C-alpha cells in the first residue's frame, strides 16, 4: 500500500470513529430525553436488592446506550447519599451487561453477504431520522427522529471503519505487524489505552469487530482487546468519582476493581484452557461458525454476564476491600461550614435528564435550609438566646453559595439537548432560587431584631411571642404543603397551600392590631414596636416567596390542567 492509500485509510478510520462517536452521543441524548421521566421514576424507586440493581443498571444502559453515562449517574446518586454502595455496585454490574447491546447491534449490521448489507439498510435510517427530526411537529417526534438518525449514523461510521480496515488488510506489512502482537497482556493493555483515550468501550469493541471481520486481526486478538476495553471504560467513572466525595470515590474504585477482576478471572481461565489446547477463539468459532462478528459480540456479552454472576455474591467482600483502601477519616470532621452543592455536579451534565432531577432535589434542599434559618430566627427573637447564631450564619453562607452556583449550573444545563418539559422547568428554577435566597435575607432581618433586643435589654411580651410562634407554625405548614406540591407537581396541594397563605395574611394583620391594643393598655414596650411590626412584615414576605416557588409547577403542567387561583 502506497503512502496515499495509507493516509486515506487512516483518515477514513478517523472519520468512521468520529461519526460513530457522534452517533452514540445523538442516540444517548435523545433516548435520555424521551425516557427521562421513566428513568427518574426508576432511580427514585431503588432499594438495596442487588438483583434489582443489576436489572436497573442494565436497562438504563441499554436504554441510553452509554455505560459511562449510567455510571456517572450512579456516582452522582452515591455522592448525594441517595444510593448505598451495595446498590451502586449492583447497578454498575448491570451497566456492564447493558453496554454489550451496542456490540450486538454492530454485529447484526455486518450481515448481508451477497445481498444488501444490513449495515447499508440501517445506515439509511440516518436520512429517515434526519427528515423526521427536522420536520417533526412536536418534541417527541423530533427526539424520535434524532434516535433514528443516530442509529443510522452508527452504521455509517461502522461502514467507514470497515472500509478502512479492508484497506489496511491489503497491506502485508500492516497485517504482519498486527499478527505479531501475540502477547495477551499487551493486547489487553492496547484495548485499555484506546478506550481510555476515546472514553467509549463501544467504539473500541466495534473497531475490534470490524478488524476481525476484515481479517486484520484474528478472533483471539479481538477478544483480549475487548477485555482491555472493559478496563479502559472505567476512566469516565474515575474522573467523576475522584473529584467528588468519599463514597463517590469508593464507587469509582468498585467499578475499576470489578472490571479488572473480570479480566483477571478470564485471563486465568484462558491460561488454564491453553493447557488443553483450547482457546477462547476456538470455542466461539465452534459455537458460532462462519460469523466472526457474532463470535466477538457474543464473547463480549458472555464475558460480562459471567463476571456479574461470579462477582454478585462477592459484593460485600468487594465493598470491604474498597473500604480498607479508602477508609473513613479516623477523626470525622464536625465542621460542615464549607458551602457546597448537595445533589448537582459537573459530571451529571453528561446525563441532562437526571441532572434536571438533581436540580429539583437541590431546590428542595435549598428550601429546607432557608426554612431552617427562618425557624432559628424566630426562636432567637422570642428567646433572645443567640447560641444558634453560628449555625444560622453557616446556613446563610450556604444559601448565598447555592444561589450563585445553581444559577451557573443552570446556564450549563440549558445548553444541553433537553425535552420541552425539562426546558420549561429549568426556566422556573431561576426564580425559585431567588425566592429561596430572599427567605434567607428576611430571616437575617429577624436575627438582627433579636440582636437589638439582646443589646437593649428589651423584649417582646408573652402575647407577642405567642403570636410570632403561631405565625411561624403556619409558615412551617405552608412550607410542608408547598414542597409536597412542588415535588409531586400537584395543583390540589398548591390550592391547599393558598388557603394556608390566606391564614398567614390574616394572622400578620392581627399582629399589628394586637400590638396597638397592647400599647394602649401598657402591656407592650413602644421601643420594640418597630421591630415587631417589621417582623410581621418579614414573615408575610417569607410566605409570599414560598408561594412563588409553588406557583412554578403551573408552568410545567399541560395547559388543560392549569387552574388559575389568584
Residues whose CB is less than 8 angstroms from the CB of residue 374 and which lie 6 or more positions away in sequence, other chains included:
439, 442, 443, 446, 472, 475, 542
Instruction: Flag whether pLDDT at 300 surpasses 80.
Output: yes
Is the pLDDT at 67 greater than 80, yes or no?
A: no
| Cell numbers describing residue 412 | 450549563
More confident residue, 235 or 480: 480
Q: What is the pLDDT averaged over residues 3-30?
A: 79
CB 27 within 8 A of CB 19: no
Q: How confident is the model at residue 502 (pLDDT cuts 50, 70, 90)?
A: very high
Question: Cα separation of 43 and 12, whole Å?
Answer: 40
Q: Which residues contact 61 (CB under 8 A, 6 or more apart)?
A: 67, 69, 70, 94, 95, 97, 98, 99, 101
**Residue 473 is inside which H or E element, if any?**
helix 462-488
Tell whether the model's pLDDT for residue 240 goes beyond 90. no
The mean pLDDT of 421-443, rounded to a whole number, is 93
Per the model's pLDDT, the better-predicted residue between 236 and 264 turns out to be 264
DSSP 3-state of 504: helix
> pLDDT tens digits for 217-235?
899 999 999 999 989 888 8
Q: What is the 3-state secondary structure (H, E, C) of 101-129?
A: HHHHHHHHHCCCCCCCCHHHHHHCHHHHH
pLDDT tens digits for range 369-420: 999 999 999 999 999 999 999 999 999 999 999 999 999 999 999 988 777 7
Examine the pLDDT at 245 and tell me if it is beyond 80.
Answer: no
Residue 28: predicted pLDDT? 67
pLDDT of residue 544 exceeding 80, the answer is yes
pLDDT over 60 (residue 37):
no
CATH classification of 346-561, choosing from 3.30.360.10, 1.20.120.80, 3.90.230.10, 1.20.58.220?
Answer: 1.20.58.220
DSSP label at 554? G
Q: Which three cell numbers stand for residue 342?
A: 448537595
The whole-number average pLDDT for the span 515-538 is: 78
Q: What letters, b where the CB count within 10 A reaches 16 and e where it falls short, cover 449-478?
A: bbeebeeeeebbbeebeebbeebbebbeeb
| Spatial contact of 191 and 164, defined as CB atoms under 8 Å apart | no
**pLDDT band at residue 249 under the 50/70/90 scheme:** confident
* CB atoms closer than 10 angstroms to residue 441: 17
Torsion angle in degrees (nearest 10) through CA of 361, 365, 370, 371: 110
Please report, for residues 78, 82, 85, 435, the alpha-carbon distance to residue 358 in angstroms, rounded to integers and kept in the order given.
12, 11, 19, 19
Number of H helices, E strands in the chain: 23, 0
pLDDT at 47: 57
What's the pLDDT at 410?
94
pLDDT over 80 (residue 344): yes
Q: Using CA atoms, how far apart are residues 200 and 59, in angstroms rounded to an integer? A: 18
Residues 506 and 502: their CA atoms lie apart, in Å, by: 6
> Which of these, 27, 22, 116, 96, lies nearest to 65 by C-alpha position?
27
> What's the CA gap between 475 and 486, in Å, rounded?
16
Q: Which residues contact 186 (CB under 8 A, 6 or more apart)?
A: none
- Average pLDDT in the 12-38 region? 74
Q: Which of 49-63, 76-90, 122-136, 327-341 has the highest mean pLDDT?
A: 122-136
The SS3 of residue 566 is coil
Helix axes 352-383, 3-44, angle to 10 degrees: 40
pLDDT of residue 388: 93
The reported pLDDT for the residue numbered 522 is: 65
- 3-state DSSP helix/strand/coil % of the chain, to nearest 5: 80, 0, 20
Residue 425: its pLDDT value, please? 92
**Comparing C-alpha atoms, which of 370, 369, 389 is closest to residue 379?**
389
Sorted by where each begins, the domain ranges of the chain are 3-325, 346-561
pLDDT for res 111: 66
Percent of the chain with pLDDT over 90: 37
Contact yes or no for 151/23 (Cβ under 8 A): yes
Do 102 and 321 touch, CB atoms closer than 8 A? no
The band of 562, judged by pLDDT with boundaries at 50, 70 and 90, is very low
Tell me what the mean pLDDT of segment 53-80 comes to: 75
Does 55 have pLDDT greater than 70? yes
Instruction: Give the pLDDT confidence score for residue 106 in this predicted structure.
Output: 80
pLDDT at 46: 56
In this predicted structure, what is the pLDDT of residue 118? 66
Mean residue pLDDT of the chain comes to: 83
Q: 315 and 250 in contact (C-beta within 8 Å)?
A: no
What is residue 48's predicted lDDT score, i.e. its pLDDT?
62
Q: Which pLDDT score is estimated for 492?
A: 92
pLDDT band at 65 (very low <50, low <70, confident <90, very high): low
- What Cα–Cα distance (Å) separates residue 347 from each residue in 200, 237, 407? 16, 9, 16
Write down the pLDDT at residue 526. Answer: 64
Tell which residue, 461, 451, 459, 349, has the closest CA to residue 408: 349
- Is pLDDT above 70 for 97? yes
pLDDT at residue 566 is higher than 60? no
User: Which pLDDT value is given to residue 520?
Assistant: 67
pLDDT at 266: 94
Q: Which of 26-30, 232-236, 471-475 has the lowest mean pLDDT?
A: 26-30
pLDDT at 237 over 50: yes
Q: How confident is the model at residue 34 (pLDDT cuts 50, 70, 90)?
A: low
DSSP states of 51-102 as a string? HHHHHHHHHHHHHHT-HHHHHHHHHHHHHTTSS-HHHHHHHHHHHHHHTHHH
pLDDT of 178 strictly over 80: no
Can you give the pLDDT at residue 125?
83
* Residue 422 · residue 352 · CB < 8 Å: yes
- Which of these ranges, 278-292, 295-309, 315-329, 552-566, has the smallest mean pLDDT? 552-566
Q: What letter would DSSP give residue 243? A: T
Query: 143-159 pLDDT, tens per residue?
Result: 888 888 888 887 788 77
Q: How confident is the model at residue 564 (pLDDT cuts 50, 70, 90)?
A: very low
Amino acid at each position: 500500500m502506497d503512502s496515499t492509500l495509507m493516509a486515506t485509510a487512516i483518515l477514513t478510520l478517523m472519520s468512521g470513529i468520529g461519526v460513530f462517536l457522534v452517533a452514540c452521543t445523538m442516540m444517548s441524548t435523545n433516548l435520555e430525553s424521551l425516557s427521562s421521566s421513566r428513568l427518574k421514576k426508576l432511580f427514585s424507586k431503588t432499594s438495596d436488592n442487588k438483583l434489582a440493581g443489576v436489572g436497573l443498571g442494565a436497562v438504563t444502559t441499554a436504554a441510553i446506550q452509554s455505560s459511562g453515562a449510567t455510571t456517572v449517574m450512579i456516582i452522582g446518586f452515591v455522592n448525594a447519599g441517595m444510593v448505598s454502595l451495595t446498590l451502586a455496585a449492583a447497578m454498575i454490574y448491570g451497566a456492564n451487561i447493558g453496554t454489550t447491546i451496542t456490540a450486538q447491534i454492530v454485529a447484526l449490521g455486518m450481515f448481508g453477504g451477497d445481498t444488501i448489507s444490513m449495515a447499508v439498510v440501517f445506515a439509511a435510517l440516518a436520512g429517515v431520522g434526519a427528515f423526521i427530526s427536522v420536520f417533526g411537529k412536536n418534541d417527541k417526534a423530533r427526539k424520535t427522529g434524532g434516535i433514528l438518525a443516530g442509529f443510522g449514523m452508527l452504521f455509517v461510521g461502522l461502514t467507514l471503519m470497515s472500509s478502512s480496515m479492508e484497506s489496511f488488510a491489503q497491506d502485508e506489512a500492516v497485517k504482519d505487524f498486527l499478527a505479531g502482537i501475540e502477547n495477551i497482556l499487551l493486547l489487553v493493555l492496547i484495548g485499555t489505552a484506546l478506550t481510555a483515550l476515546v472514553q467509549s468501550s463501544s467504539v473500541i469493541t466495534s473497531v475490534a469487530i470490524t478488524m476481525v471481520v476484515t481479517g486484520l486481526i484474528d478472533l483471539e486478538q479481538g477478544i483480549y482487546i475487548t477485555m482491555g476495553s472493559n478496563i479502559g471504560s472505567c476512566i469516565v467513572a474515575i474522573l467523576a468519582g475522584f473529584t467528588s466525595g468519599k463514597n463517590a470515590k469508593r464507587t469509582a474504585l468498585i467499578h475499576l476493581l470489578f472490571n479488572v477482576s473480570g479480566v483477571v478471572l478470564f485471563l486465568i481461565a484462558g491460561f488454564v484452557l491453553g493447557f488443553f489446547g483450547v482457546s477462547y477463539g476456538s470455542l466461539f468459532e465452534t459455537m458460532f461458525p462462519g460469523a466472526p462478528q457474532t463470535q466477538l459480540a457474543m464473547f463480549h456479552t458472555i464475558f460480562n454476564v459471567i463476571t456479574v454472576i461470579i462477582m454478585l455474591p462477592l459484593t460485600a467482600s468487594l465493598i470491604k476491600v474498597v473500604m480498607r483502601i479508602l477508609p473513613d477519616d479516623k477523626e470525622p470532621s464536625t465542621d460542615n461550614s464549607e458551602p457546597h452543592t448537595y445533589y448537582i455536579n459537573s459530571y451529571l451534565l453528561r446525563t441532562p435528564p437526571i441532572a434536571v432531577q438533581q436540580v429539583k432535589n437541590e431546590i428542595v434542599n435549598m428550601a429546607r435550609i432557608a426554612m431552617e434559618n427562618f425557624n432559628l430566627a424566630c426562636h432567637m427573637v422570642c428567646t433572645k438566646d443567640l447560641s444558634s447564631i453560628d449555625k444560622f450564619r453557616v446556613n446563610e453562607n450556604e444559601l448565598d453559595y447555592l444561589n450563585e452556583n445553581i444559577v451557573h449550573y443552570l446556564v450549563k444545563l440549558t445548553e444541553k439537548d433537553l425535552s420541552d418539559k425539562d426546558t420549561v422547568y429549568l426556566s422556573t428554577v431561576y426564580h425559585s432560587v431567588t425566592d429561596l435566597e430572599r427567605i434567607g435575607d428576611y430571616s437575617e432581618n429577624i436575627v438582627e431584631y433579636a440582636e437589638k433586643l439582646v443589646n437593649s435589654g428589651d423584649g417582646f411580651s408573652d402575647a407577642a411571642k405567642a403570636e410570632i410562634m403561631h405565625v411561624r407554625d403556619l409558615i412551617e405548614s405552608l412550607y410542608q404543603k408547598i414542597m409536597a406540591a412542588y415535588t409531586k407537581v400537584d395543583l390540589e396541594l398548591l390550592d391547599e397551600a393558598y388557603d394556608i397563605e390566606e391564614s398567614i395574611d390574616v394572622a400578620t394583620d392581627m399582629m399589628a392590631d394586637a400590638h396597638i391594643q397592647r400599647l394602649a393598655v401598657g402591656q407592650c414596650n413602644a421601643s420594640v414596636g418597630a421591630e415587631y411590626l417589621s417582623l410581621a412584615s418579614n414573615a408575610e414576605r417569607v410566605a409570599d416567596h414560598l408561594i412563588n416557588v409553588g406557583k412554578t409547577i403551573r408552568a410545567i403542567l399541560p395547559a388543560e390542567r392549569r387552574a388559575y387561583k389568584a
